[in-house]
Amino acid sequence: MAPVDLAFSVPSSVAEAIGELAAGEDVILMGGGTSVGLLLKNDLIAPSKIVWLTKIPALRRLTADAGGSVLIGATVTLRELAGSEVIRLRFPALAYAASRVGNPRVRAVATVGGALTHSDARQDLPPVLYALGATVLVQGPTGAREIPVARFHTGFMQTVLAEDELVTAVVIPAADGTPRAAYGRFTPGSHDDYPTVNAAASVARDGNGRIVRAALALGGVGSTPLLVPEAAALAGTVPGPSEVAAVAAAAEAAASPFDDQRGSARYKKAMAREWAARVLAACLDEDGPPVPDLVAG
Ligand SMILES: Cc1cc2nc3c(=O)[nH]c(=O)nc-3n(C[C@H](O)[C@H](O)[C@H](O)COP(=O)(O)OP(=O)(O)OC[C@H]3O[C@@H](n4cnc5c(N)ncnc54)[C@H](O)[C@@H]3O)c2cc1C
C-alpha cells in the first residue's frame, strides 16, 4: 500500500512544479496517472509527494503555426490528441496511433507527457513521433532544453530527463514537400492490448515523386523504440518494391527484441520486417487512405 502521508500538490505554473521537484526527495510528477496509479497500487514506487501537472494552463496548449509545425502541450490527453482537427489534418498517423492506446478510460486521462516519459518500448505514440522527427521540450531549474525524441528514451522506464526536469511539450516540425506518414501495430491479443510490434514511417516527396525525407521507427523490438537509419537513405530516390524490401530487411536486422508472452524474439523480428514494409508501402501509395488502418489482431 502507498504511504498514507503521501503529499499531493497541484501547481498552477511550470516554475511552481519545478520548485516542488527541487524541494524534496522522492517527489514524482503525474499527468493522467494511468501508469503512476498502477505503480503506487502495486507498491513499486513510494514517493513522498505527487505533483499533478494537469492544472498548469501552459501545458494544455495544442497550437499550429502557419509554417506547418505543431506544438502539443505535455498534458494534452490522448483522447484530445486523437480528436484534434489540427492533428487529424496534419499528422493523421499520430491521431490514429493515439486512438489505439489502451481503452477509452485510459485515453481520457493519459497525457502526451506521460505517454513519452512512461518509456515502455511497446507504446503506440513513440514510433510515430520518432518517424515525424519530433522534438521534446523540457524545462528544469536552470532553463529549457530541446531533445530530439529519438534521443529521449534510454531504457525501460528510463529517459534522459534529470530528476528536477519535466516535459513541457512536443513539437512536430513541418515537413518539406508532400508528406505522408503511416502507423501500424500488430497484437495477437485483444484489440486494446499493447502492440507486440509496431511501426511508423514518414515520407515527404517533391513534385517529381522523388523522396526528400524518409524515416522509419519500430516499437516492441528492444528496450527503447528504434529509428531505422537505412530509411533515411531513400532520400533522393523514387523507390519501388525492392528498395522498400531492403529497408524492411534492415529493420529486421536492427531489431533486438526479447522473448516474452507476446511472442518469441524470432517472431518479433519477422513482424518488424513485415510491418516496416507495410507502413513504408502505405506512405508510398498515393491512392491509399490518408489514415491507413494497418492494425491486425
Ligand atoms: C489498462 C492500460 C492499457 C494500456 N494500453 C496501452 C496501449 O495499448 N498502448 C500504449 O501505448 N500504452 C498503453 N498503456 C500505457 C499508457 O500509454 C500510459 O500509462 C500513459 O500514456 C501514461 O500517461 P499518463 O499521463 O497517465 O502518465 P502518468 O501515469 O501520470 O506518468 C507516467 C510517467 O511519466 C512521468 N510524467 C508524466 N508527465 C510528465 C511530464 N510532463 N514530464 C515529465 N515526466 C512526466 C511520471 O512521473 C511517470 O513516471 C496502457 C495503460 C493502461 C493502464
Check residue 78 and give its pLDDT.
Answer: 98
Whole-angstrom distance, CA of residue 247 vs CA of residue 244: 5
Segment holding 104, helix H or strand E: helix 104-109
> Measured from the CB, is residue 77 less than 6 Å from ligand 1?
no
> Measured from the CB, is residue 114 less than 6 Å from ligand 1?
yes
**110 CA distance to ligand 1 middle (Å):** 6
The burial class, CB within 10 Å (0-12 / 13-18 / 19+), for 103 is exposed
**This prediction's pTM:** 0.95
The pair phi, psi for residue 89, each rounded to 5°, is -80, -45
A 10 A CB-CB count for 1 gives 7
Q: pLDDT tens digits, the chain, 297 residues: what are they?
A: 545 679 999 999 999 999 999 888 899 999 999 999 999 999 999 999 999 999 999 999 999 998 889 999 999 999 999 999 999 989 999 999 999 999 999 999 999 999 999 999 999 999 999 999 999 999 999 999 999 999 999 999 999 999 999 999 999 999 777 788 999 998 877 777 899 999 999 999 998 889 999 999 999 999 999 999 999 999 999 999 999 999 999 999 999 999 998 889 999 999 999 999 999 999 998 776 554 455 554
- Mutational test site, ligand 1, from 29, 38, 128, max ligand atoms within 8 Å of CB: 29
**149 CA distance to ligand 1 middle (Å):** 16
Alpha-carbon distance values, 188 to 182, 262, 296 (Å) = 20, 7, 8
The closest alpha carbon to 235, from 216, 255, 254, belongs to 216
> Measured from the CB, is residue 187 less than 6 Å from ligand 1?
no
Which residues, at least 6 apart from 190, have a Cβ–Cβ distance to it below 8 Å?
Answer: none
Residue whose CA lies nearest to ligand 1 atom number 45: 114
**33 CA distance to ligand 1 middle (Å):** 7
Residue whose CA lies nearest to ligand 1 atom number 27: 114
The closest alpha carbon to 93, from 61, 129, 62, belongs to 129
> Measured from the CB, is residue 127 less than 6 Å from ligand 1?
no
**114 CA distance to ligand 1 middle (Å):** 4
Whole-angstrom distance, CA of residue 62 vs CA of residue 139: 18
CA angle 140, 130, 197 (to 5 degrees): 120
Check residue 209 and give its pLDDT.
Answer: 87
Ranges of beta strands (E only) in the chain are 7-9, 27-30, 49-52, 62-64, 70-73, 135-140, 143-148, 153-155, 158-159, 166-172, 178-186, 197-205, 211-219, 226-227
Segment holding 133, helix H or strand E: none
DSSP state of 152: T
Check residue 291 and give its pLDDT.
Answer: 44
- Residue identified by cell 491521431 is 95
Residue whose CA lies nearest to ligand 1 atom number 16: 115
DSSP state of 166: E
**143 CA distance to ligand 1 middle (Å):** 25
Check residue 259 and give its pLDDT.
Answer: 95
**What b/e string do you get for 22-61 counting C-beta neighbours within 10 Å, with b at 16 or more?**
eeeeebbbbbbbbbbeebbeeeeeebebbbbbbebeebbe
**101 CA distance to ligand 1 middle (Å):** 10
